[in-house]
Structure 1
Amino acid sequence: MPGNRAVAYAGAGKVEVKDTDFPELILRDGPGVNPLNVGRKCEHGVILKVITTNICGSDQHMVRGRTTAPEGLVLGHEITGEVMETGRDVEFIKKGDMVSVPFNIACGRCQQCREQNTHVCLNVNPDRPGSAYGYVDMGGWVGGQSEYVMVPYADFQLLKFPDKDQAMEKILDLTMLSDIFPTGFHGAYSAGVKPGSTVYVAGAGPVGLAAAHSAQLLGASVVIVGDLIQERLEQAKSFGCETVNLRVHDDLGEQIEQILGVPEVDCAIDAVGFEASGHGQEATEAPATVLNSIMGVTRAAGQLGIPGLYVTEDPGAVDEAAKKGSLSIRFGLGWAKAHTFVTGQTPVMKYHRSLMNSILHGKANIAKAVNATVISLDKAPQGYEEFDSGVAKKFVIDPHGVL
């Protein structure tokens, strides 16, 4: 049996690459594993050799020490791999298949899964609906920033690529199907983007860039991206977006008016989440900034897609309310403008097959949009450090050096 190496959280601001157990078709005890999940048998699962696994902004929240994640937690929920072993209950996925893994873990059997709400599956996390790999308070399923990983409910969840050679040619695009491309698309779709829409995207990190590209795919006439880091905004410009540097220009409505002639957009997307900053040169953390600003610049009866991560506990928050996930949002403004809000994890399985076909047939170029950058497993700590500095890159880890 081969060994296994993985990227693990090692305390605030630190990750490490460590030797770890080769996965089994059972959930063993370990850092972050819910006690009620220990010993859970997964004969419906598979063991994957990881081909690519990406660093996500959601991982970065944990690494900054902004959650209750325990040290030793193996990170990573964006996984693409080759099937090495199948459980006795797996019927349709075969050894050798190359697959994308949705970051939501979903059983396929509960009411929510039957209604396509795979982001809030009722059977995978004993604490509350919804689960993910390598993430705090998500049931303790072991993360996939590793050489090998176990994936449960394989027949239901896994997206098989039709041709392995074709998939490897497009691997930097296809690796985005596990999370950020469906997440960005969900943000745009749930914001009501349609042909001719004007769209504002808050945040030019990878999810924001994916949302901007998705808005273009949905037919938006203008996509405006706002951020505090000029390098990220240059990346948004590279595929046709208008941009606003909110470090330099703190009046978002005024900047939108200069672009569109009016200070409002049809649709807005929050791709920032709970670590939001205020606007302007001296701005500091202000977690409700994005939610309040997009309500302000979205027209009456408009829709707000909110794929940015918000948490129920934020020990490092700026005030006591925010530490419990309570933010000072102008809900009355949203009510008065009859806004529609769509929040929560993205139900990846609603979108990933269609987005795969868009990639394979040359309609979507998500790797270019997010500036996919390949690194080795050993370079993961450096990748986390660079990502935290705000570089305009989406880091793709290549555990076995196959790219």
Structure 2
Amino acid sequence: MNKAVVYRGKGKVEIEDIGYPELILKEGPGVPKSNVGRKCEHGVILKVVTTNICGSDQHMVRGRTTAPEGLALGHEITGEVIEVGRDVEFIKKGDLCSVPFNIACGRCQMCKEQNTHVCLNVNPERPGGAYGYVDMGGWVGGQSEYVMVPYADFQLLKFPDKDLAMEKIMDLTMLSDIFPTGYHGVYSAGVRTGSTVYIAGAGPVGLAAAHSAQLLGASTVIVGDLNEDRLKQARSFGCETVNLRQHDNLGEQIDQILGEPVVDCAVDAVGFEASGHGEGGGEQPAIVLNTIMDVTRVAGKLGIPGLYVTEDPGASDEDSKVGSLKVRFGLGWAKAHTFVTGQTPAMQYNRDLMKAILSGKAQIAKAVNATLINLDEAPHGYQDFDSGVAKKFVIDPHGSVKQ
């Protein structure tokens, strides 16, 4: 058996047996026809040690994408190698590894340039692939007991000391996605020693971005959100915060903190399901992009790891349904802003961030309030996460993690 978290329509996930994985991509929900039967002797089978619920998963579960029912979810995966394909040379049985959420072949032009988030060979529909995610190649998700990982020699980040890794597994599990994603947001925004930075969103990615900004030497990290519990979590590790439900003028709040109404750089850790500021603002998918342009100084950079989609069937207007938003691009142009968008190339960062965790420099689990649950509790975890709790849920399918 291989129990997994499976999407069963808007607002619903269930625990089902999806069958033990093999080193081949079989026909199934979301698998493009041209990917069916793809042999993966370059892959491995992992026994999943930890796998996390991500805000990106929530977009699908809320019905805000074209994800098909029956899709096994999960792209944040850490596991032990229990089966090795014929063509795998360097990864061995027993290795404990982090799996980058980007699926990448290591052979195409994009991979050779370290743009593993837009690999040209893993998804016949468009560049870039991921586990358990809509329109990303049909690769089976890893919120499960076991999962197949292709291109293992290239992709897997092996932990050098297995015992030490298990001691720090609640931190290391964040290397598959949110820690590199948060770091990418602030790094691409140009955060350096002394920077002032505004981060929109106090969910797990926003909190990871805030902690990353501190690691990079920011002098002041300001986090904005509508959820006071999540803002309290940001304050727990030294961030300034702005409750945007209570204050609809962000510039004024930044002025009170910094003595000027602008920051050096900003990060969008919210994405397309953004809500307007103040009471009863309603959904405004461009509000974060327009706001961070407004509060970022001239010639500043904007890191945009928050998710934006090309198809949103739940959008309130026809333009937004195809990802066309009312962004004040003229403002960004006039201020000579740099925009960095797209999925995070996790492999650019995960090894260095692993070393920061193992040395004790990075405390990412504490920053995002990592909370352990078992696989059967995952549907309830999805409900709690959707309600806005200030937690990052980590699923332990086999009871491997000691607390």
Please indicate, yes or no, whether the TM-score normalized by the shorter chain is above 0.5: yes
Tell me which residue corresponds to 2:100.
Answer: 102
Q: Deviations over 1:112-163 (max 9, x none)?
A: 0000000000000001100100000001000000000000000000000001
Tell me which residue corresponds to 2:352.
Answer: 354
Select which of 391, 397, 400 maps to 2:398: 400
Tell me which residue corresponds to 1:231.
Answer: 229
Q: Which moved more, 1:29-38 or 1:182-191?
A: 29-38
Relative to the length of structure 2, the TM-score reads 0.99
After superposition, residues 61-100 of structure 1 pair within 5 angstroms as 61-100=59-98
Tell me which residue corresponds to 1:173.
Answer: 171
After superposition, residues 48-63 of structure 1 pair within 5 angstroms as 48-63=46-61
Offset at 1:282?
A: 1.4
Offset at 1:9?
A: 0.3
Distance 1:19 1:154 in 2: 24
- RMSD of aligned residue pairs (Cα, Å): 0.3
One-letter identity of the residue aligned with 1:69: A
Tell me which residue corresponds to 1:241.
Answer: 239
Distance 1:402 1:185 in 2: 28
Distance 2:140 2:324 in 1: 29
Corresponding residue SS for 1:124:
coil
Offset at 1:402?
A: 1.3
Offset at 1:355?
A: 0.1
Distance 1:121 1:31 in 2: 21
One-letter identity of the residue aligned with 2:270: V
One-letter identity of the residue aligned with 2:220: V
Distance 2:194 2:378 in 1: 40
Select which of 270, 274, 277 maps to 1:276: 274
Tell me which residue corresponds to 2:23.
Answer: 25
Q: Deviations over 1:77-122 (max 9, x none)?
A: 0000000000000000000000000000000000000000000000
Distance 1:105 1:276 in 2: 27
Corresponding residue SS for 2:42:
coil
Select which of 2, 5, 8 maps to 1:4: 2
Distance 1:22 1:136 in 2: 21
Distance 1:228 1:310 in 2: 20
After superposition, residues 104-253 of structure 1 pair within 5 angstroms as 104-253=102-251
Distance 1:209 1:295 in 2: 20
Distance 1:34 1:82 in 2: 28
One-letter identity of the residue aligned with 1:92: F
Corresponding residue SS for 2:103:
coil
Relative to the length of structure 1, the TM-score reads 0.99
Question: Runs of at least 4 residues of structure 1 off by over 4 A?
Answer: none
Number of residues paired by the alignment? Answer: 401
Corresponding residue SS for 2:130:
coil
Corresponding residue SS for 1:396:
strand
Tell me which residue corresponds to 2:387.
Answer: 389
Distance 2:307 2:233 in 1: 22
Q: Structure 2: which 5+ runs fail to align? A: none
Distance 1:36 1:217 in 2: 43
After superposition, residues 358-373 of structure 1 pair within 5 angstroms as 358-373=356-371
Distance 1:184 1:262 in 2: 25
One-letter identity of the residue aligned with 1:263: P
Offset at 1:318?
A: 1.2
One-letter identity of the residue aligned with 2:245: R
Tell me which residue corresponds to 1:337.
Answer: 335
